[in-house]
Amino acid sequence: MKSIILQQKAERDKLLEMRYQERVAMAQAVSYRDSRPIKLITGPRRAGKSVLALQMLKGQNFAYLNFDDAALLEMFDENDVEQALAEVYPNYGFLLLDEIQNQPGWSLWVEKLYRRGVNLVITGSNANMLSDDIAAVLSGRYLEIRLYPFSAGEYLSFLAVPLSEETETPEFVARLNSSISKYMEYGGYPEIVGTEQVAAGYLSGLYDSIIVKDIVRRYKIRKVDDLYGVADRMLSNFTNPFSASSVRDELEMPSTTTVQKYLAYLQNTYLFQYLPRFSNKLKLMKKADAKGYVVDNGFIMARAFELSGNYGRLLENMVFMELLKRGYDLKKYELFYYRSRNDKETDFVCRRGVMIEQLIQVCYRMDSKKTFDREILSLVECAGELKNSNLTVITWDQEDTVTKSGYTIKIVPFRKWIVL
């Protein structure tokens, strides 16, 4: 056991020497660091959770265990691990447990460590880490930091592309839009930013790794082709409404229950997120079709789905993920789509607590009068029913302010919206 931990320490020290793009979440992480509760960093594989945890603890005396290591999992014994940690990291002040969800029964061991006063930082790639049973064990004892692939701002900062200038020259706008266009196509996974030539292979491999390691092996899935069928169906129909029964019928699968399980597993890995339809009645909201979104646009490109003609959907998916990165929480019912009584739709209803903050419509281009009227009238009708007047349409490059039926609507290019 000691030799495993020594090897992991060498890997830790090498990672600490490297330079990284500072994440927006770092300020939150550092503010939590010295507090008593467990610091729990969650999010999809390879989004940068381990790096964030390491940077958060840089300069501190901390021990490190990586549970993506098969040798550690095979030989794991609580007493042996704790003894080896004490020898390798004398008098450590923090303990970082990386990808802890791979260790069966991890929550009970973590609870013991917490009761002994160990200051814990944990990372994990499964949203189900905070299932009811585990949440009961750790109730009131953790602070969650959720991390996704780079936001548009983080991506541009990594490439040293400024977000704004005092005077927007055509050259500046062209360079900024060119960079954002690459982000919209290839996504924001940290390891491939600026190396688009390897993006398809990297992301295709990551897609398979998430499905095989985090679903097939964890849940002992036998009909792997059916699982891939559901995943690929969600990927090719991103931003569209769906239900478990509609997916079952489309794929000609025998069981709605099985489809529901697969959809939940895919959500637990953060690969897909499901946006509910807004209703004041929770039962109706849960029964209505949700809309499916992908955690990163790069997966859409990597699995060889046609991008041309889908720029509007790619932009909508990008806006959805930006809203999650701004802290809107689906579990707390802070983000929805809305359909009016006349079947007009608004892409995003953003809420904090019980108060609706804003309504957002996404439209790549509003060049034609037909498209312009459709988007504006839909937004105004939904605003009237929801009694909210903070209205925005996010476009690729159009900017304007219009008034309709007493409502003022801001039309904002994505490049400007990301700095608001």
Query: What angle is formed at CA 65 by the lines to CA 63 and CA 71, rounded to 5 degrees?
Result: 140
The H-or-E segment that residue 5 falls in is helix 2-17
C-alpha span between 302 and 205 (Å, rounded): 9
Mean pLDDT of 94-122: 92
Phi and psi, residue 19, nearest 5°: -100, 140
Distances (CA, A) of 254 to 134, 150, 216, 265: 32, 39, 19, 18
Confidence label for 132 from pLDDT (cuts 50, 70 and 90): low
**Structure pTM?**
0.93
Instruction: Specify the 3-state DSSP secondary structure of 276.
Output: coil
Sheet holding 38-42, edge to edge: 62-66, 94-98, 119-124, 38-42, 142-146
What's residue 99's pLDDT? 92
Q: What was the pLDDT predicted at 287?
A: 80
pLDDT band, very low/low/confident/very high, at 208 (cuts 50, 70, 90): very high
How many other CB atoms sit within 10 Å of the CB of residue 333?
14
pLDDT tens-digit map of 28-80: 999 999 999 999 999 999 999 999 999 999 999 999 999 999 999 999 999 99
What is the rounded average pLDDT for all residues in the chain?
93
Percent of the chain with pLDDT over 70: 96
Res 134: pLDDT: 62
- DSSP letter string, 55-107: HHHTTS-EEEEETT-HHHHHH--HHHHHHHHHHHSTT-SEEEEETGGGSTTHH
Residue 348: phi, psi to the nearest 5? -140, 125
pLDDT classification of 138: cutoffs 50, 70, 90 = confident
Alpha helices in 212-358 (DSSP H): 217-219, 224-236, 244-251, 256-268, 282-287, 298-302, 311-325
What is the structure's pLDDT at 45?
92
What integer is the mean pLDDT of 122-128?
84
Q: How many CA atoms lie within 13 A of 385 on its CB side?
A: 18
Q: Looking at the predicted structure, is the pLDDT value of residue 167 above 90?
A: no
The helix (run of H) or strand (run of E) holding residue 148 is none
Q: d(Cα 37, Cα 4) in Å, to the nearest integer? A: 28
User: Is 356 strand, coil or helix?
Assistant: strand
Closest CA to 177 of 403, 415, 340, 418: 415
- List b or e across 32-68, with b for residues whose CB sees 16 or more CB atoms inside 10 angstroms: bbeeeebbbbbbbbbbbbbbbbbbbbeeeebbbbbbe
How high is the pLDDT of residue 307? Answer: 67
Q: What is the pLDDT of residue 168?
A: 84
- Place 420 in a pLDDT band, splitting at 50, 70 and 90: confident
Radius of gyration of the chain (CA): 23
> Per-residue confidence at 165, pLDDT binned at 50, 70, 90?
confident
State the pLDDT at residue 130: 62
Is it the case that residue 298 has pLDDT exceeding 90? yes
pLDDT at position 133, please? Answer: 52
- Residue 381 scores a pLDDT above 70: yes
Contacts of 88 (CB under 8 A, 6+ apart): 2, 5, 6, 9, 63
Asked if the model's pLDDT at residue 202 lies above 70, the reply is yes
pLDDT tops 80 at residue 123: yes
Of the candidates 232, 301, 238, 230, the residue with the CA atom closest to the CA atom of residue 265 = 230
Percent of residues, the chain, with pLDDT higher than 90: 84
Q: Which domains does the chain have, with CATH numbers?
A: 2-146 (3.40.50.300), 327-420 (no CATH)
What's the whole-number mean pLDDT along residues 352-364?
95
Q: How confident is the model at residue 125 (pLDDT cuts 50, 70, 90)?
A: confident
The three-class DSSP label of residue 23 is coil
pLDDT of 101 = 87
For the cut 90, the answer to whether the pLDDT of residue 242 exceeds it is yes
Q: What pLDDT score was predicted for residue 294?
A: 97
